Structure 1
Amino acid sequence: MSVDGWNTVLVLGGIRSGKSEFAESLVADAPTVRYVATAADAPADDAEWAARLAAHRARRPETWTTEETATDPRRLADVIASAGPNETLLVDDIGGWVTVLLDPAHQPADDTATIAELAAAVRACAARLVLVSPEVGLSLVPTTPLGRAFTDALGAANRAVADACDAVVLVVAGQAAWLKPGAAQPGVVPAQAGPAPVTATAGPATATAGPATATPGPATATPATGRTGTPAAATGPAGTPATTTASGSTGTPGVAAGGPAGTAWAAPTMALPMVATGLVIQPGMELPMPDEYAGPQAIERLATLDVPGAGLGALERVVGFAAATQGTATPAPWGSVRVLLLHGDHLGDAAAGAVDGESARRARQARAGRGVLARLAAESGADVHVVETPVSAPMEDEPALAGEQVEAALRDGWRLAEEAADAGAHLLVLGACSAGTEAAAAAVLAATAGAETPAVLGRVVTGSGEIDDAAWMRRCAAVRDALHRTRRSPRGAKDVLAELGGGDVAVATGILLGATARRLPVMLDGPVGVAAAMVSRDLAGQARHWCLLADHRGDPAVRLAADVLGLTPLLDVRLDLGEGANALAALPLLRSVLALAAALPARPSLGGGDDDEDGEPEPEPGPDEPDFREPEPAGPGPTSTEPPTGAETRTEPVDPSGRRAG
């Protein structure tokens, strides 16, 4: 149980809930385990109970040792208290221990004092300790005195032990829900107690958070809000993605996003318990959806604006998207924008035709504030963060990533989105500069959408601008062989990432999930982003609704994925400046559209302002100027409902018969 931050955990669950199997999985990586069995042996006439005990014994590895405490319930506290710091104990379970404690053979006894002794031993335990206990408090109150005594004693024991443990997890139908997280949970990097040390100067700066080091380059972009930049710190231990920023201005370093003790989890999200407590990111997560009313209201409002022509055309969609993600019918232009540029090459023929070292050169350019991406970021006031992702193995020969690398990459991507939200970003731009990303995206699309590889794999263009058909065929063959190798493998999200997607697609998927949890829109730009969006559908279907696609670039993979995801590209200019740079080139236009939609008044006929050419409102009519009056209606009938007055007053008598008198 390689867990930092806590040593003791209580696993609760109902009958046949899977609590024992879950507890055993927590200590599966320990070299030796002392299994403390608390239940008494089965009576000779109870074959079913004997079979249960035998099943538990059969699951224990040969390296585990078993210790019995059924003869003396007080001995359990002594075993726990005497365990050394290098030991791992698994106690299964407290329900059996309470049964023995209430046995008449051990009475009279002070049950309350014995439970308090057990809790004190757990609290002072130096070993790594996992305790299992049944949760029976959700059923009806037993009808027998003995049943009530058992549930009362077990409830008191569970409460006392849960209070003493660092973490508590409830297992229901095989699914774990962490009730009491510790300082850190399995798979989550512990948060720093405070900001990591940082050295910031006018030139290169160094930001340090834990073992990994991130080195921002010279300043290239100033956020549109005018605030100082925020260099991102490396998140996680060595081997996990490190983040660097192209903004060299003085600011506050990022803090590693870990458990609840860290500042990175300050803003609550619907999925916070899932990640913050260390449970694996799993399919079927319920994440937030954009506002379903704000988007249509914003589109309806556009029809009322004082615009000389027909309006914003296809760019009305960006107003609806911004309104839905911001939760208002008058969305504001995106101010703070963060670009996450992923770099992690794919080995093998997936990168056939790529120039050696070219992807690393592009990453260095972005870090140093040079190149197309950095220049566009400077123009747009965006921060560029280069994220080093795991290198992917040749997909045609073996899985691109190991299972544990996929889990870590998903969590790292989630943390990157959390850091961006905490830094005040209004929009994420997702790009990549890895070698072989086109083939990896094609493989993901083939696995998730049934696409034919030649139809979604773009042509290979050399550095001199020539088409390299031989390299394209090698890439197609690599994808074909990878799909053949995995033809009998599951097609779940994590399986696809491990077998085909690789490091950059896995981190990108985590970014989309984390951004969705924090209601942060993401602009996709290229094969990696759309491949991640395809995979994220199985983990949280809400993620695609927070994605925006500026341009399809003419890329067949992007075209197909956009069609499947229901993402209509806003533009069709076919920019090919590199992932991330295309989105930044379109960003000023999108901002202008949002600014117009927010600032323009309604048409005068709908009550909006009517300004003259000098920009001043038209003056009210003076007292000598004729005022417009409603014309009198023509034809028979009264012209007024008021009685006539003055010169219009009739003096002739009126004949009751209707004829004029005289």
Structure 2
Amino acid sequence: MSVDGWNTLLVLGGIRSGKSEFAESVVADAPTVRYVATAPEGDPDDTEWATRLAAHRARRPGSWTTEETAADPGRLAEVIATAGPNETLLVDDLGGWVTVLLDPAHQPADDTATIAELAAAVRASAARLVLVSPEVGLSLVPTTPLGRAFTDALGAANRAVAEACDAVALVVAGQTAWLKPAAAPTTVPAQTAPTQGGLAQAGPGQAGAPELAASAGARPVTGVPDEALPEVLTPTAPPAPAPAPATAAPAADWAAPTMALPMVATGLVIQPGMELPMPDDYTGPQAVDRLATLDIPGAGLGVLERVVGFAGATQGTATPAPWHSVRVLLLHGDHEGGASAGATPGESARRARQARAGRGPLARLAAENGAGLQVVEAPTSAPIEDGPALSGEQVESALRYGWRLAEQAADAGVQLLVLAACGAGTETAAAAVLAATAGAEPPAVLGRVITEHGEFDDAAWMVRCAAVRDALHRTRRSAREAKDVLAELGGGDVAVATGVLLGATARRVPVLLDGPVGVAAGMVSRDLAGQARHWCLLPDHGGRPGVRLAADVLGLTPLVDLRLDLGEGATALAALPLLRSALALAAGLPVHPSLGGGDDEDFTEPEPAGPGPTSTGPEPDFTEPEPAGPGPTSTEPQPAGPGFTGTEPAGPGSTGPAPDFTEPEPAGPGPTTIEPDEPVAPGRRAD
């Protein structure tokens, strides 16, 4: 119930400006609204004030509920902070709240701390929230100490709440001016459908969180450049002639509304227990059930039925379309120390440069699939056996950075993301994350090390196992929460990948996982938003033990068993044409004729290319033309009986009855009848 996808809105205005009416119109289409009244009842003899309160109550629909906070000003922050994700709150107004806050009955009180507590609750609000407040910036300075204290406190509250809110509107003489974001609509848009998880939804084409991120002024952190995102490359297939390069397809009709999360001054807030959207529970099974009605021979699509169900659920339709606009996110971030034992120095950087230049397996496969390629530089991770891989601030920045990458893709109309990685030591870091989150033993989830010459390096494998073992021992008393795992063990690429999964989930963009980094991010994302794994599809486990374990924990069943070892992301792109083919068949095949589909009797057999009869049906009066020369007209034996004289001669004078059908003569010598392959045994009837 928010304006243009913003989750929290502050409405400012002067006396009788229409600010309350505007705020009420914003949430008018919400199924239920909790109206939080902050003003005290006032003097019982003040009939004018009582009339104002009665007018406010009369405007509220019967489905709204009213909650009073005048008895305790600190309770307002508690109401906002504890509101559920599916609730809509309208707070009217902060002027009454400040009046109660400065009431001598509540003194002494720390007004500054109470205002900061309110702003923090607004930032973290999971509910849709609209607050109304008088704007005092244009007023005269009161002449009384209490009046000056009121204007100062209300001004401080307005500034703090405006900074915490996603959008701010100023109502003057009934006209709305948008102060935040700068480029806002001039009218209130139609209300969107209720959201899952309490996050505001914006339809396609509406403003999204990238503009919020820009206006929020996210500060950069060393290791992840918040100020810019990498260029999206469009690899081209080298063979000629090549198909026309695929262009970014416009958002399909089935594209679901997008999501936006609360923003703060330092950027996006990513915290445990976020409520993000889930795929449609009904359209996925409906898409699979629909396959049984199609004109498909045999047993159907087999395991690819899961692809149809996944696409149907993520697209929100029983007839999902193939993914046309695809983007590959290649995360490049090395891990120092024992995690990268056996890796060739500089090899991962060479692979990243190769991908940027449109060369290498990943870029070639992306070109064949018409997919864009974005090479993402993640911060280098410190040795996990000695200390944390990243600082807490770097983890926060990496998560926001990955989220912004997913948002950028969604804004560009991307329908499917492919998550890949090419850093040194990535499999070791992923194994450490799996050991910490799934309780696995490092040797059981860490694959063998293969050198650049294709040989196994078991000595390097033992070094990697030892690094994971030492890291787990070092962190044995540390918390196993998502951000702690990323900081201590996961490192930069896993943190960015986790942000990508969360951002893609918020924007309803499915993700193909391929390799240890993607599944490790899926394991970490469970604590931040359990819905993320439902937007992921795993084409192949690649023979990696860690990927197998994570797939079992996440409930992801690999579709194929190609076991390509061309780097993360290559298997997903190799399987993508197969997945698209399954969706194309499911969307394009008609319903079986027995269930009301097309009528096969309307089908006309095409004319044969060479000479021959135009009809294959028998004609009862058809007579084979007589042969040109003398000879029998039929070699079929005639039944013995009176008047039988053998084969009647052809031509005039024949006295035998003419049969309705005469067998044509064979092209060459030999009998025209085919004898049985084996003699018929006594007592057995020949077929």
TM exceeding 0.5: yes
Which among 536, 551, 561 is matched to residue 550 of structure 2? 561
* Alignment gaps of 5+ in structure 1: 1-7, 23-37, 57-90, 96-113, 122-149, 170-176, 194-208, 231-250, 252-265, 619-624, 626-662
Equivalence for 1:256: none
Q: Does 1:358 align with 2:347?
A: yes
Q: 1:391 to 1:158 in 2, by over 3 A?
A: same
Q: Does 1:167 align with 2:162?
A: yes
Contact 2:410 2:507 in 1 (8 A): yes
Matched pairs, number: 455
Equivalence for 2:288: 299
Contact 1:275 1:281 in 2 (8 A): no
1:499-545 CA distance string (max 9 Å, x none): 00000000000000000011100000000000000000001100000
Q: 1:420 to 1:617 in 2, by over 3 A?
A: farther
Equivalence for 2:534: 545
Equivalence for 1:654: none
Contact 2:235 2:366 in 1 (8 A): no
Q: Secondary structure at the match of 1:341?
A: strand
Contact 1:438 1:527 in 2 (8 A): yes
Alpha-carbon distance between aligned partners in 2 of 1:379 and 1:529, rounded to the nearest angstrom: 23
Deviation at 1:272, TM superposition (A): 2.4
Alpha-carbon distance between aligned partners in 2 of 1:396 and 1:482, rounded to the nearest angstrom: 4
Counterpart amino acid of residue 540 in structure 1: A
Deviation at 1:280, TM superposition (A): 2.2
Percentage of identical aligned residues: 69
Q: Which has the larger radius of gyration?
A: 2
Contact 2:234 2:372 in 1 (8 A): no
Q: Secondary structure at the match of 2:380?
A: coil
Q: Does 1:338 align with 2:327?
A: yes
Superposition TM-score, scaled by structure 1 size: 0.60
Equivalence for 1:240: none
Q: Does 1:509 align with 2:483?
A: no
Q: Secondary structure at the match of 1:480?
A: helix
Q: Does 1:406 align with 2:424?
A: no
Which among 177, 190, 199 is matched to residue 214 of structure 2? 190
Q: Secondary structure at the match of 1:308?
A: coil
Q: Does 1:220 align with 2:236?
A: yes
Deviation at 1:161, TM superposition (A): 5.4
Alpha-carbon distance between aligned partners in 1 of 2:540 and 2:229, rounded to the nearest angstrom: 34
Q: Secondary structure at the match of 2:563?
A: coil
Alpha-carbon distance between aligned partners in 1 of 2:525 and 2:519, rounded to the nearest angstrom: 10
Q: 1:561 to 1:549 in 2, by over 3 A?
A: same
Contact 1:609 1:617 in 2 (8 A): no
* Alignment gaps of 5+ in structure 2: 1-9, 13-68, 82-98, 117-133, 169-178, 183-208, 218-224, 608-618, 620-687
Contact 1:610 1:617 in 2 (8 A): no
Q: 1:560 to 1:154 in 2, by over 3 A?
A: farther
Q: Secondary structure at the match of 2:491?
A: helix
Q: 1:574 to 1:566 in 2, by over 3 A?
A: same
Deviation at 1:190, TM superposition (A): 2.4
Q: 1:545 to 1:39 in 2, by over 3 A?
A: closer
Q: Secondary structure at the match of 1:190?
A: helix
Contact 2:248 2:414 in 1 (8 A): no
Q: Does 1:606 align with 2:595?
A: yes
Q: Does 1:422 align with 2:411?
A: yes
Q: 1:460 to 1:404 in 2, by over 3 A?
A: same
Q: 1:322 to 1:268 in 2, by over 3 A?
A: closer
Deviation at 1:288, TM superposition (A): 0.6
Q: 1:306 to 1:538 in 2, by over 3 A?
A: same
Alpha-carbon distance between aligned partners in 2 of 1:535 and 1:282, rounded to the nearest angstrom: 12
Equivalence for 1:460: 449
Q: Secondary structure at the match of 1:394?
A: coil
Which among 65, 68, 74 is matched to residue 15 of structure 1? 74
Q: Secondary structure at the match of 1:398?
A: coil
Q: Secondary structure at the match of 1:167?
A: helix
Equivalence for 2:55: none
Equivalence for 1:143: none
Contact 1:296 1:320 in 2 (8 A): yes
Q: Does 1:289 align with 2:348?
A: no
Aligned CA-pair RMSD: 4.6
Contact 1:414 1:510 in 2 (8 A): yes
1:6-30 CA distance string (max 9 Å, x none): xx9x9x99527889xx9xxxxxxxx
How does 1:549-628 map onto structure 2 within 5 Å?
549-611=538-600
Q: Does 1:497 align with 2:521?
A: no
Counterpart amino acid of residue 316 in structure 1: E
Deviation at 1:573, TM superposition (A): 1.9
1:232-272 CA distance string (max 9 Å, x none): xxxxxxxxxxxxxxxxxxx9xxxxxxxxxxxxxx9964442
Counterpart amino acid of residue 450 in structure 1: G
Contact 2:235 2:372 in 1 (8 A): no
Q: Secondary structure at the match of 1:523?
A: strand
Q: Secondary structure at the match of 1:466?
A: coil
Deviation at 1:377, TM superposition (A): 0.8
Q: Secondary structure at the match of 2:334?
A: coil
Q: Does 1:476 align with 2:465?
A: yes
How does 1:248-327 map onto structure 2 within 5 Å?
269-273=258-262, 278-327=267-316
